[in-house]
Amino acid sequence: MPGLVIVGAQWGDEGKGKVVDLLADDSDVIVRFQGGNNAGHTIVRDGEEFKFHLIPSGILHADKVCVIGNGVVLDPAILLGEIDGLRRRGIDVGNLKISANAHLIMPYHVLLDTAGEVKLGKLSIGTTRRGIGPCYADKALRLGIRVQDLLDEKILRTKIRAALEPKQQALRELSVRRRKMRKEAGEGSERGEAADQSVDDTPDPRLDLHSMVEEHVSFGHRLEPHIADTARLCWDALDSGQAVMFEGAQATLLDLDHGTYPFVTSSNPIAGAATIGAGVGPTDIDEVWGVAKAYATRVGAGPFPTELEDETGRRMLERGREYGTTTGRERRCGWLDLVALRYAVRLNRMTALTITKLDVLKGIDPLRVAVRYRSKEGAVFDRFPYHQSILHSAEPEYEELPGFDVDVEGARSEAELPPQARAYLDYISDFVGVPIRLVGVGPDREQVVWIGDEPRVQAA
């Protein structure tokens, strides 16, 4: 299978980084095709933890080419920080290639993201405030700054100037609205309001055109050895029979078009987007593997039918160490939602599933899985509802399965898993209609169980 896509099958944080790291053994090229540093992939190798936000998870394989595709939006300061951090730990990053067509997150994108969330107040969607949405918006508005622009100071200055003026106006308007809201809420004394106004009216030094151009030219000098025509790189690899793995960030239910809008990310994390975000054709994709936890989690706002706000949910959070890699926020935890998982399987046309964190469920009995929803009017839905009003008020209906009370961290084969755990996995596979090929039984790279023969990603 020379073209393999790895996608998240839930709301993110499923453990895609570990799966990519494992399958990278038999891959030649690993491509990140969307998202930005709002993502976080954690890999544990030999007890050492690595956290990635922009760099593909396959970077720990020095003999593999790692690509940041054109569909990614990247903050150059964050990327260089990751590169420097890896170098300090003795990791060679000479194999990292960055698409010249990828768009840059600029300082004004971060400011707009934060100001927009503050303005929404209780209606905020829970973004990471990393500038991802405003950057993708500028890309669609054709006001974006691309990686290749870092290599031409004249073009860079012209493009930043064109993009900066409407951003400054928008930020001023948001400041005025924020002061008005504070005044209406009776916050602060006259002296405090005056001080607040003087601060808001002071130009942000991060938005100085000259400083921004100088800083980004400097970024360009450092990144230039990595900048490449990455689409052609992928074509050459695929045409020569090499194995290319496409790595998504976030997950299916956060997809801009097909997720729980508006509580979604600003790009398309589904498998079909790999072709656009990497610059390859649909027929270059041979396999799609989805990654799901043995339970469910979600970060930020938005519907989550199977959420548990009880001791069981807290147990999942603590045992699974469910804290955001990017934000540090506690993840909301709940039972596995098979209605949503079956939706993700079909939407991505998955050929296989990976189930992670099975070990977290030890000692929970019975185990529940959602198999349908019931609306507040009493209507039953055995398919994922397209209408947001239904999903927001849907109550899950569960099937109960026996739990297991033995450790699975040491299991390395299906036969070493307790029968209840095997029955749980079989139920999931039968319900969603695809085989489970890999099961995670602990945080370390070696704590996995292959179901059936361990695949070789390399083409014959």
Catalytic residue among 28, 41, 216, 337: 41
Q: Give me the residue label for tokens 């085989």.
A: 435
Spatial separation of the C-alpha atoms in residues 307 and 316, rounded to whole Å: 11
Do the bridges between strand 336-337 and strand 395-401 make them parallel or antiparallel, or are there none, so unpaired? unpaired
pLDDT value, residue 459? 41
Sign of CA dihedral 322, 326, 330, 335: negative
| Burial environment of residue 12 by CB neighbours within 10 A (0 to 12, 13 to 18, 19 or more) | buried
pLDDT value, residue 456? 54
* 387 is known as an active-site residue: no
Spatial separation of the C-alpha atoms in residues 76 and 209, rounded to whole Å: 17
Q: What are the φ/ψ torsions at residue 373 (nearest 5 degrees)?
A: -120, 155
Catalytic residue among 13, 113, 138, 149: 13
pLDDT value, residue 431? 98
pLDDT value, residue 193? 46
Domains annotated for the chain, with CATH where assigned, are 3-100+229-450 (3.40.440.10), 104-225 (1.10.300.10)
Q: What are the φ/ψ torsions at residue 211 (nearest 5 degrees)?
A: -65, -40
* 41 is known as an active-site residue: yes
Spatial separation of the C-alpha atoms in residues 189 and 197, rounded to whole Å: 12
Q: What is the pTM of this model?
A: 0.88
CA distances from 436 to 96, 119, 213, 243, 353 (A): 31, 44, 50, 21, 5
Q: Does the N-terminal peptide bond of residue 443 adopt cis geometry, omega within 30 degrees of 0?
A: no
Residues 385/394, Cβ–Cβ less than 8 Å: yes
Helix (H) or strand (E) segment spanning residue 218: helix 209-223
| Rounded to 5°, angle at Cα 70 from 67 and 74 | 80
Each residue's pLDDT tens digit in the chain (460 positions)?
Answer: 589 999 999 999 999 988 998 999 899 999 999 999 877 777 777 778 888 889 887 888 889 999 999 999 999 999 999 999 999 999 989 999 999 999 999 999 998 888 766 665 555 655 677 899 999 999 999 999 999 999 999 999 999 999 988 888 777 776 666 666 566 666 554 444 444 443 455 567 778 899 999 999 999 999 999 999 999 999 999 999 999 999 999 999 999 999 999 999 999 999 999 999 999 999 999 999 999 999 999 998 899 999 999 999 999 999 999 987 666 789 999 999 999 999 999 999 999 999 999 999 999 999 999 999 999 899 999 999 988 889 999 999 999 999 999 999 999 999 999 999 999 999 999 999 999 999 999 998 899 999 977 665 444 3
Q: What are the φ/ψ torsions at residue 159 (nearest 5 degrees)?
A: -70, -40
